[in-house]
Amino acid sequence: MGFPEDVAGAAETLCAAGEVTIVSHIDADGIAAEAILGQALDRAGVRNRSIFVRQLEPLAMRHVPKGDGSLKVFLDLGSGQQNLLEEHDLAPEEVLILDHHVSQPAGRNYRQVNGLPYGHTRLSAAGVSYLVSRHLDPSCVDLSPLAVVGNVGDMMARTDLQLVGPARGILEEGQRAGYIDLARDLNCYGISTRPAHVCLAFGDDPFIPGISGNPTLALSFLQHLGVTLQDRSGAWMVWEEIPFDGKRRIVSALAQQLVLHGKDTSRLIGEVYLFPHEAARSPLRNASEFATVLNACGRWAKPLVGSRICRGDRGGAYREAEHMLTHHRGIIRELLQFILDRGVTELSHLQYIHVGDRFPDTIIGIGAGMALSKLNPKKPILILGQMAEDPLVSKASLRTTDEMVRRGVDLQQVVVTASERNGGSGGGHRIAAGAFIPKEAEERFVHCANRILARQYADPGPDHC
């Protein structure tokens, strides 16, 4: 059996199901995956409903129906929690897992579609969900933008600055059908919604000395180039709207600036995925900004609002998401300021801070990522926060930079190992990971993470602490 056979098998299983319960994750990838599969099932005439969970843990399993005769389809989760499905007494024939996380086999053999065993390491759950849906109903090619949003949201295009493998196939399929525009453009977040100088000042990959982190300097840098940055009414154009010649002049000046400071220019330009059917200046025009909208919905406990947007709602759901995004950004700014004001504690290979219960645990990871660009980027950052609903449990979020990942840092391994040894559980990616740990184990967890990182720097092999 190969990956295409797994995809085809899953589509057949879904077709044969009388009713489907989708259980998905609340992040951009999970929401996109859910919206793709839900719509495909609707088109195929298979009754379905969706449940979103923050993570698949024993408490969340209470929401998963038992013995109701429906096929339970786990999206963006499940592979690593098959023992929980077993404990929940789900039979192999009533479960289908579409995931991209590392598998933890249990006694029961659950059906899954997961690219990892086939070497497809950069295919997110929304990608898997799309491939299965496309098999179910070829008209689902219109859902290819959502698959791209999920993949980009899970940073599948981050390392290479482009989608690769089956995710690239999906991208090209959507492009041929006119649903996706692919451009090589500035590797910077916000090119569809932010004025050029703001966009550049917020970027940190690559970090451009004298521009990154400083909108005033970024603006004067651009003004010195003599490029027109405002439209006829005097309003700032967003990066996307600046004519090609202006962009070209800016990019070559940015490259010079990097060279002048002895920096690498290879990450200045990357692939950008745009959705031409969306309105100008809408965040939904751009895969990475669309993913932010969905993440904001999930983090503020409104994944269904995100799902409605994925299903085409540009009215009520979209307005609600816009409010959430504004609120989301405001809280993140506060968190960032709090971190910078209080300062972090530096250990040999790690810097950390405890933010208490001041901020929701769902956003501290984002704050960590943003703070890192203003702190020592050579040391991963760890933020601890208290869970509002359970004061005995703490959330730990870790972030590092692409450069440190290239040097052997693997935060996924750090949190999995350090949390297991301290009575918690964690997961994530090499560049970003998180864990839930007992409050009383916080200090031991931090020092254990520091020791594992020290070994990763020295020798990226197995560790013991």
> Taken in order 381, 33, 105, 168, is the CA torsion positive or negative?
negative
Q: Residue 167 or 375: which CB sits closer to Mn ion?
A: 167
Q: Does 432 bind Mn ion (CB under 5 A)?
A: no
Q: Does 29 bind Mn ion (CB under 5 A)?
A: yes
Task: Name the burial class of residue 455, with classes exposed (0-12), middle (13-18) and buried (19+) by CB atoms within 10 angstroms of its CB.
Answer: middle
The least distance separating Mn ion from the CB of residue 415, rounded to whole angstroms, comes to: 16
Q: Does 295 bind Mn ion (CB under 5 A)?
A: no
The least distance separating Mn ion from the CB of residue 166, rounded to whole angstroms, comes to: 14
Q: Which stretch binds Mn ion (CB under 5 A): 124-132, 348-356, 405-413, 441-449?
A: 124-132
Q: Which stretch binds Mn ion (CB under 5 A): 16-24, 69-77, 132-140, 429-437?
A: 69-77
Peptide bond into 206 cis (omega under 30): yes
Q: Which stretch binds Mn ion (CB under 5 A): 76-84, 209-217, 372-380, 450-458?
A: 76-84
Q: Does 271 bind Mn ion (CB under 5 A)?
A: no
Q: Going by C-beta distance under 8 Å and a sequence separation of 6 or more, which residues neighbour residue 68?
A: 19, 21
Q: Residue 104 or 223: which CB sits closer to Mn ion?
A: 104
Q: Residue 125 or 268: which CB sits closer to Mn ion?
A: 125
| Residue closest to 101 by CA, chosen among 456, 356, 416 | 416
Among 32, 56, 113, 125, binds Mn ion (CB under 5 A): 125
- Terminal CA-CA length for the chain: 39
Please state the separation of Cα 63 from the chain's center in Å: 24
Q: Does 154 bind Mn ion (CB under 5 A)?
A: yes
| Residue closest to 51 by CA, chosen among 11, 70, 43, 40 | 70
Q: Does 34 bind Mn ion (CB under 5 A)?
A: no
The least distance separating Mn ion from the CB of residue 154, rounded to whole angstroms, comes to: 4
Name the residue whose CB lies closest to Mn ion. Answer: 29
Q: Residue 154 or 289: which CB sits closer to Mn ion?
A: 154
Tokens of 21: 């319960």
DSSP string covering 302-336 = -HHHHHHHHTT--SHHHHHHHHHHHHHHHHHHHHH
Tell me the per-residue interface mask from 83 to 122 with Mn ion, x by CB under 5 A, - otherwise. ----------------------------------------
The least distance separating Mn ion from the CB of residue 133, rounded to whole angstroms, comes to: 16
For residues 210 and 257, the answer to whether their CB atoms sit within 8 Å is yes
Q: Residue 33 or 335: which CB sits closer to Mn ion?
A: 33
Report helix, strand or coil for 292. helix
Going through 303-460 in order, the beta strands assigned E by DSSP cover 345-346, 351-354, 381-386, 393-399, 425-428, 432-438
Half-sphere exposure at residue 392, Cβ-oriented, CA atoms within 13 angstroms: 2
> Taken in order 354, 298, 117, 145, is the CA torsion positive or negative?
negative
Q: Residue 154 or 205: which CB sits closer to Mn ion?
A: 154
The least distance separating Mn ion from the CB of residue 150, rounded to whole angstroms, comes to: 7
Q: Which stretch binds Mn ion (CB under 5 A): 1-9, 132-140, 150-158, 258-266?
A: 150-158
Q: Does 124 bind Mn ion (CB under 5 A)?
A: yes
The least distance separating Mn ion from the CB of residue 101, rounded to whole angstroms, comes to: 7
The count of other CB atoms within 10 Å of the CB of residue 281 is 13
Among 6, 34, 76, 137, binds Mn ion (CB under 5 A): 76
By the criterion CB under 5 A, which residues form the site for Mn ion?
A: 29, 76, 124-125, 154
